[in-house]
């Protein structure tokens, strides 16, 4: 396996919550129905994850936010479900494995993504 891409992103929790409150349609534009039920800190971490994934994929235009869904396995480990535009880009690059780490503490949410062949 070879590393194809790495992405990292951080998100200020207070600023993100204010953006969601100010722009109600943002929730539906950024998140799937399952993701949208999460608490604000978890949403901020998922937003950071999607940004980190886009960076790892080379930040091409045309990726749909809802085509990368973050879910948690029974163990609590976060994972991506890729579909549509995001899955197509991952296949184009030869991505076989997507590694994701999320965190939120001290008012900041962060995410790191590593793509492997």
User: pLDDT digits over 26-79, tens only?
Assistant: 999 999 999 999 999 999 999 999 999 999 999 888 999 999 999 999 999 999
Domain ranges, ordered by start, for the chain:
3-116
Q: How far apart are CA 100 and CA 109, in angstroms?
A: 13
- The class of domain 3-116 in CATH terms is alpha beta
Q: What is the DSSP letter of 24?
A: T
Smallest Cα–Cα separation from 64: which of 78, 52, 45, 50?
50
Q: What is the average pLDDT score of the chain?
A: 96
* pLDDT of amino acid 95: 98
Give the pLDDT of residue 98: 98
> Could you tell me if 77 and 59 are in contact, meaning their C-beta atoms sit under 8 angstroms apart?
no
DSSP bridge pairs for 38:
none
Q: Closest Cα partner for 57 from 10, 92, 103?
A: 92
pTM assigned to the model: 0.95
Model confidence at 24: pLDDT above 90: no
């Amino acid at each position: 396996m070879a590393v194809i891409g790495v992405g990292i992103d951080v998100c200020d929790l207070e600023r993100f919550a204010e953006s969601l409150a100010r722009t109600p349609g943002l929730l539906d534009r950024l998140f799937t129905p399952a993701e949208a039920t999460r608490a604000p800190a978890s949403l901020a971490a998922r937003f950071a994850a999607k940004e980190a994934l886009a960076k790892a994929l080379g930040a091409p235009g045309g990726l749909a936010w809802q085509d990368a869904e973050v879910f948690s396995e029974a163990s609590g480990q976060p994972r991506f479900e890729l579909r549509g535009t995001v899955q197509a880009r991952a296949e184009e690059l030869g991505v076989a494995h997507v590694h994701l780490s999320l965190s939120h503490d001290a008012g900041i949410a962060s995410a790191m993504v590593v793509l492997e062949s």
